[in-house]
Amino acid sequence: MKILFQARPDFMKNPAGDTVQIVSTGQALKALGIEAHFSSDPNIDVSSYDLVHIFNITRIKESYMFFLNAQKQGKKIIISPIYWPPNAYLNREGASSNALAAWKHTQPMRARLLRECDLLLPNSQIEMDVLQQDFLKIADYHVTPNGFPDSFIGTTPKLFREQFPNIPDEFVLCAARISPRKNQLWLAKTCHELGLSLVLLGPVNDQNYYKCVLSFSNVTHIGTLQGQLLASAYAASKAHALPSWFETPGLSSLEASACGTVVISTDQGSPKEYFQDMALYVHPLDNTSLHTALEQSYNASPLPLMQHIHKHYPWSRVAEITLEAYNKVLS
């Protein structure tokens, strides 16, 4: 079986959750004997592929072009929407006044993709429920969760401690691109009030926002870590906090939980479907919720969530579910 993955052209240059999902799905499918190629060419000849798998309808314009090209060539199309309505985030204090209007203006393009593709692979049932609320008619679906690298199981803090000996023994970690949607400023301020050290991992999306976050003396930004060093950072931290405006469900929360770390997550989006009652939840409009969750995290056990995530969400398992979806469309 030969699959063509298509997504925004800068998915490697500006890495985000969709980058991890694309790369990890491709690698895990390869282990099952599936050939997965990537292209961001909206005019590519798709005749040699069994189907086209398009990722991410948030940035819809490129995905729309990929869709039209595959449809014109009569190819089966699967879409991983990675969708959550950003209304609350775009309506927040200080947001651009035309951002929500721009989002609504592009909804008809999303509607066509969702209606005319062959199968949708939402990351959760909650995501699918929201799609069905926001769009009148949409294609059949096959819930295909996000995952964590199988190699993260059994990680210890040793590697991270050796490379970063000056990081305090106890710290809160947040691995995410540094941007208003991920809400690190709120996290930095609340950790500062509680006297907690905060370590940030990830690329900087917004320089002005970054300066505000780093103005707190308790904050250290290490940059982007990958592979076993990233896993070791999760294992070394007291808690991993991702208090975003929404997540589906937050790949770093999944990865941190797999490494045996207490997870503090936004309650907006699909985290609760993955983490159930085994994580601590915050609401981005409730200032006290993060304060409470950080205090509770120091006495919480990460083990129930870790065991649950190990059982259900390794990328090897996600690849099997993805292959089921491919076979469903091709049969």
| The pLDDT value given to residue 143 | 98
The phi, psi pair for 178, rounded to 5°, reads: -85, 105
- Same domain flag for 19 and 134: yes
Give the span between the Cα atoms of 197 and 220, in whole angstroms.
Answer: 8
Q: CA 289 from chain center: how many Å? A: 22
**DSSP of 64-121:** HHHHHHHHHTT--EEEE------HHHHTSTT--TTHHHHHHHTHHHHHHHHHHSSEE-
Closest CA to 184 of 255, 85, 282, 117: 282
| The pLDDT value given to residue 279 | 98
**Which of the residues in the chain have pLDDT under 70?**
none
| The pLDDT value given to residue 170 | 97
| The pLDDT value given to residue 111 | 97
With residue 134 as reference, give the H or E element that holds it: helix 125-134
- 176-194 residue pLDDT tens: 999 999 999 999 999 999 9
Residue 227 CA neighbour count, 13 Å, CB half: 2
- Same domain flag for 130 and 277: no
Residue 96 makes CB contacts below 8 A (sequence gap 6+) with 90
| pTM score, whole prediction | 0.94
Instruction: Please list, residue by residue across 305-327, b when 16 or more beta carbons sit within 10 angstroms of its beta carbon and e when fewer do.
Output: bbebbbeebbbebbbeebbebbe
| The pLDDT value given to residue 229 | 98
Q: Is residue 322 within 8 Å of 27, Cβ to Cβ?
A: no
| The pLDDT value given to residue 263 | 98
- Same domain flag for 142 and 26: yes
| The pLDDT value given to residue 203 | 94
- Same domain flag for 184 and 307: yes
- Same domain flag for 234 and 112: no
Spatial strand order in the sheet of 119-120: 35-38, 2-6, 51-55, 77-80, 119-120
- Same domain flag for 204 and 60: no
- 81-133 residue pLDDT tens: 999 999 889 888 777 878 888 999 999 999 999 999 999 999 999 999 999 99
Q: Residue 77's CB: how many other CB atoms inside 10 A? A: 22
- Same domain flag for 280 and 325: no
Question: How many structural domains is the chain composed of?
Answer: 2
Q: Which two tokens stand for residue 36?
A: 């997965």
CATH of the domain at 262: 3.40.50.2000
Domain region containing 236: 151-312
- Same domain flag for 160 and 258: yes
- Same domain flag for 156 and 277: yes
| The pLDDT value given to residue 16 | 84
| The pLDDT value given to residue 265 | 98
Would you put residue 260 in left (φ > 0), alpha (ψ -120 to 50) or beta?
A: left
- Same domain flag for 227 and 306: yes
- Same domain flag for 85 and 109: yes
Q: Which two tokens stand for residue 86?
A: 């950003």
- Same domain flag for 71 and 210: no
